[in-house]
Structure 1
């Protein structure tokens, strides 16, 4: 069962994502790196210029990414010559063209996402799972207004969130920019609480630094 994100976890990300290393975020949140990155993107968060100037970002002084592990001219990849190769007999397990897994649920099915949102399946196409399932409140907005503009998200208006499909109507949702969504989240936290999480994050980073130095 997927573990949804709590308000405390979101608050921690809002206060510390910009300046914390991926490892520090993993250690504190006890979540995988991809999960943290996905949540940060959903909250409209980005790393700070200060973070990118540190060695932890893996960049050079000019801002370019560290290329210490890139292939050098003349190096050959381990899988050269294996393109199109597969183990004998593997083809017996392949899906035939147009064939779907017996566990595939039909289009129109509903589910609750890890964030507690009602989603509807809209496609069986291959690719990202996010393209096959869309939040019902977003579909309601799109049906009335067209595609969601780049850099924007559809959210419930304050106090309007529900998982009852009959209650998800256009008057209960709105489309805002990711930046505006992050600003609202910051406002809900309040300046004092944000500062508290920043201090807590700074202490955690110092403890992790000391632990790394003791192990080295």
Structure 2
């Protein structure tokens, strides 16, 4: 009875050993023997039995899964097998099983079926003529209580945003693009990175207008600079993206034997990375 320690008999021990040998989990055994899971754990330890977290599926269980999985809720199958739902789904996936169209079209799937008046959907529909509970409350200037005192004011900043703020016109070197950048706007609707533009592009557009599509402004060879006053139009040139790729390709900048070494190095690095990932997994 509830509140009393279970009295284990020799027959109970035999049942526990048999269920354990059949690969049953603690949850299933506890339900079968009408006792708490902790009780099963405690008795199993005394009998020298251990439970493997990985359930060993038997041919009989696989047969049950094949017969029931397509058309029945997984929770029902898991309960009858004494397993959790996730483990049943994993086994079904390994066996190549999936739910049938008939199951998904039924109420068992728990889905609200489109094209019909599902009672669950009808019960929560917003009926014509009903007045929203917040109608008229969210009006301009609505600030009950101390809300107005704690709201952010327009243009106000605090915390990290205030600490990291720099004014328009600030310049910095972009460590990835390796060019001098200048802040051109504080527009909050623009993503922070987009508020900065390369200085050499600004200089080019001031003299020639917007950069055409499919082109890029670059420094002429040997004339790159990170000093704003030194970035002038005569140091720049407009090239196509294809031409820029050719100029930066190792195929055109190195002799064939060096190209081959670079390719072999890349293949070696990929192999090392693959082995490292496999070891971690």
Taking structure 2 as the reference length, the TM-score comes to 0.40
Partner of 2:267: 202
Inter-CA distance 154–93: structure 2 relative to 1 (3 Å threshold) = farther
Equivalent pairs counted in the alignment come to 132
Taking structure 1 as the reference length, the TM-score comes to 0.51
Uncovered stretches (5+) of structure 1, i.e. residues with no partner: 1-71, 76-88
Partner of 2:156: 99
Counterparts of 1:2-151 in structure 2, within 5 Å, are 95-100=152-157, 101-103=161-163, 104-114=165-175, 115-126=177-188, 127-151=190-214
Inter-CA distance 92–179: structure 2 relative to 1 (3 Å threshold) = farther
Q: Do residues 162 (structure 1) and 225 (structure 2) align? A: yes
Inter-CA distance 212–132: structure 2 relative to 1 (3 Å threshold) = closer
Inter-CA distance 141–102: structure 2 relative to 1 (3 Å threshold) = same
Partner of 2:118: none
Q: Which moved more, 1:114-123 or 1:132-141?
A: 114-123
RMSD of Structure 2 on Structure 1 (CA): 3.2
* Structure 1 residue ranges, 4+ long, deviating more than 6 angstroms after superposition: 89-94
Q: Secondary structure at the match of 1:102?
A: helix
> Which protein has greater RCO, CA pairs closer than 8 Å, 6+ apart?
1
Uncovered stretches (5+) of structure 2, i.e. residues with no partner: 1-103, 113-145
For residues 165 and 150 of structure 1, what CA distance do their matches in structure 2 show?
25
Q: Secondary structure at the match of 2:162?
A: coil
Which structure is larger by alpha-carbon Rg, 1 or 2? 2
Per-residue displacement from partner, 1:147-200 (whole Å, max 9, x unpaired)? 122232211110110112111110101122222111101123444333222111
For residues 91 and 181 of structure 1, what CA distance do their matches in structure 2 show?
55
Per-residue displacement from partner, 1:87-138 (whole Å, max 9, x unpaired)? xx99987643233443321111111211432211110112323321111111
Inter-CA distance 105–214: structure 2 relative to 1 (3 Å threshold) = closer
Q: Secondary structure at the match of 2:182?
A: strand
Partner of 1:18: none
Higher share in helix: 2
